Structure 1
Amino acid sequence: MDIVIATLTSPVILFFILGMLAAFARSDLAIPEAIAKGLSLYLMAAIGLKGGVAVSESGFTPDLALAAAAGVALSFLIPYFAFALLRSFGRLDQVNAGAVSAHYGSVSVVTFVTATEIYTGQSIGPAGYMVAVLALMETPAIISGLMLARRGEKRADSAGGGLMHEVLLNASVVLLMGSFLIGLVAGPSGFEAIAPLFQIPFTGVLCFFLLDMGLVAARRLVESRAMTVRLTILGILFPIANGVIGTVLGTAIGLDVGSAAALGVLGASASYIAVPAAMRMALPEADPGLYLSMSLGVTFPFNIIFGIPLFAALAQAIG
């Protein structure tokens, strides 16, 4: 209960709830798109830099290798579990089930950043190398989702080259990995000069960004016409099941409590940036209103409010 209360009373979470309530009340509160993109760029650069600096201090360890292997395995395999349920219980066709399953195998940067900030405030901050795990988990799920969506088809995909370019060079992957490498090279001494920009304002910027995400998530949920009760149930079941698997796996390979919980958060989260961009190119026949409503309208709010404290409590209980 202490973890749940600490999470729900965090200003970061309260700003997200404020955004959702404002949207449900049909307030005209809004953050301009250009500012929202700027906040997103800042957060990804800051988390990448701090992760690189942390790895620079600790060095490359067996824990990093194990966490990376576990993360990639989760990203590649989760879509198969999700696809089966989306086809049977969710009653989706093959293409839409494949597109949605890719979102659940990939990750949400904002969910991870939020969890990192909250866990750090509770003195169980994850290891810096988890940023690298985050970046590695973005792409394997896209491959799995496309294989599932196109299973049984014998035609060649002429967009394959463009898709791989989109996956490997999308903005979030480039900025996260680039800033991670900069932090790795610069180290603590190099980071000290820019710490006033990337460390002190971080929580305040995250509050504004989550205010905007609350507005977007609630409005997407209200406007969606593709969501059914069955899909809403799956949008909550997936993060619980995947997050528990990730947390237990992280504990089993010897990660500390914060890192195991963070792996759970990564397993539980669903992409709404990189994967939608890839799906628009590779599966234009899939319904964006469907996969965005599930990932952003259902799973994202669930993880922010309930998933983050749940996986921390589980990691502490079994760690």
Structure 2
Amino acid sequence: MDLLLEFLTRFVTQFQSPALAFLVGGMVVAALGSKLAIPDAIYRFAVFMLLMRIGIDGGISIREADLGEMLLPAAFAAALGCGIVLLGRVTLVFLPGVRAEDGIATAGLFGAVSASTLAAAMVILEEDGIAYEAWVPALYPFMDIPALVLAIVLANVYLTKREGGSDSKVAIWPIVVESLRGSALSALLLGLALGLLTRPDQIFESFYDPLFRGLLSVLMLIMGMEAYTRLNELRKVAHWYAVYAALAPLAHGLLAFGLGYLAHLATGFSPGGVILLAVMACSSSDISGPPTLRAGIPSANPSSYIGASTSIGTPVAVALGIPLFLALGQAVFAM
């Protein structure tokens, strides 16, 4: 009962947070037929800045972290990213009306991480005074990159064997290399390398970090507008995508919360870190994923995987996932 009450309290409070407010605002504006449009150049700039900020911050955090403490949570993050893709591969693909490449792309997007959802959770935890290790956001690429690369590999293996027969050989490594060269993953990896190998602290603190929340609000507004648009597109494809997008995020997050709790028992992983790991697994990629999958699985229908993620997955993760795992953390760790 206490958990339910805590969840409902968090849920109501969540609607007052800037991240969800801008998301809902974008959906309302689109539903009212407004002609408001954010130039694509601004969207691309916001995406680049957020990925660079997360990458640089992650690199700095890894550089300064106790790698022994980080090892188990990082391994769990990578396992979660790959596991979610494999789980989606064996469920979505066999549902009626779901094309294999569309199902794999959808699983890849839900195995990867939403930078905006992670950022919103970080802001809320900081506002609530819930501490977490500085390197926890650096778990983002450990979950995100393996999930996207695995989805592209699985889809290409499937398509190659479908076209050339079951005995066709597929070169895996070139697919992996090409995936990592995508614009979104390149920006994330560049920021990670700069934070890890150089000393960008001053430019990070004076340029990237101050713009973070403002750019996040712009991105959430765009996401809300696109969510409403994609909702109409989603109706044109199999309704199983809507079911998956509504249920899978919370299931993924609960699995991650369980693994995070094991890391807490084994290494002292903080309650805030457990919550953020759950939010990462609950989220579906909105920045690095779509452009990476568009390039890596061009035959997949974006209305299926982006529609499922943007119109249902992201609102579920932000509006339900974050307050749920905050409440669960409150109940489990007595914060």
Matched, 1:141 2:147: yes
Could you tell me whether the CA contact under 8 Å between 1:116 and 1:126 is conserved in 2? no
Matched, 1:241 2:251: yes
User: Is the deviation greater in 301-310 or in 280-289?
Assistant: 280-289
The total of aligned residue pairs comes to 315
Matched, 1:258 2:272: yes
User: 1:41–1:277: structure 2 CA closer, same or farther, 3 Å change rule?
Assistant: closer
Matched, 1:155 2:168: yes
Please state whether the residue corresponding to 2:118 is helix, strand or coil: helix
Aligned residue runs from structure 1 range 1-319, under 5 A: 1=6, 2-57=9-64, 59-89=65-95, 91-146=97-152, 148-149=154-155, 150=157, 153-157=166-170, 163-185=175-197, 191-192=201-202, 194-254=204-264, 255-319=269-333
Matched to 2:194, the amino acid is I
Residue deviations 1:67-94 (CA, integer Å, cap 9, x gap): 1100111111112222233144564233
User: 1:44–1:15: structure 2 CA closer, same or farther, 3 Å change rule?
Assistant: same
Residue deviations 1:105-142 (CA, integer Å, cap 9, x gap): 22222222222222222222543323332112223224
Q: What displacement does 1:302 show? A: 1.4
TM-score by length of 1: 0.87
Q: What CA distance in whole angstroms lies between the structure 2 residues aligned with 1:235 and 1:90?
A: 16
Matched to 1:169, the amino acid is R
User: 1:93–1:49: structure 2 CA closer, same or farther, 3 Å change rule?
Assistant: closer
Unaligned runs of 5+ in 1: none
Q: What CA distance in whole angstroms lies between the structure 2 residues aligned with 1:106 and 1:271?
A: 5
Q: What CA distance in whole angstroms lies between the structure 1 residues aligned with 2:25 and 2:212?
A: 19
Could you tell me whether the CA contact under 8 Å between 1:101 and 1:145 is conserved in 2? yes
Q: What displacement does 1:15 show? A: 1.1
Residue deviations 1:10-29 (CA, integer Å, cap 9, x gap): 12221111001111111111
Could you tell me whether the CA contact under 8 Å between 1:138 and 1:173 is conserved in 2? no
Q: What displacement does 1:231 show? A: 2.2
Q: What CA distance in whole angstroms lies between the structure 2 residues aligned with 1:279 and 1:194?
A: 29
Matched to 2:213, the amino acid is T
Q: What displacement does 1:217 show? A: 1.6
Q: What CA distance in whole angstroms lies between the structure 1 residues aligned with 2:203 and 2:149?
A: 40
User: 1:166–1:309: structure 2 CA closer, same or farther, 3 Å change rule?
Assistant: farther
Q: What displacement does 1:318 show? A: 2.0
Q: What CA distance in whole angstroms lies between the structure 2 residues aligned with 1:45 and 1:33?
A: 18
User: 1:94–1:37: structure 2 CA closer, same or farther, 3 Å change rule?
Assistant: closer
Residue deviations 1:179-223 (CA, integer Å, cap 9, x gap): 234334556xx6246523233332222112211111112112123
Could you tell me whether the CA contact under 8 Å between 1:239 and 1:303 is conserved in 2? yes
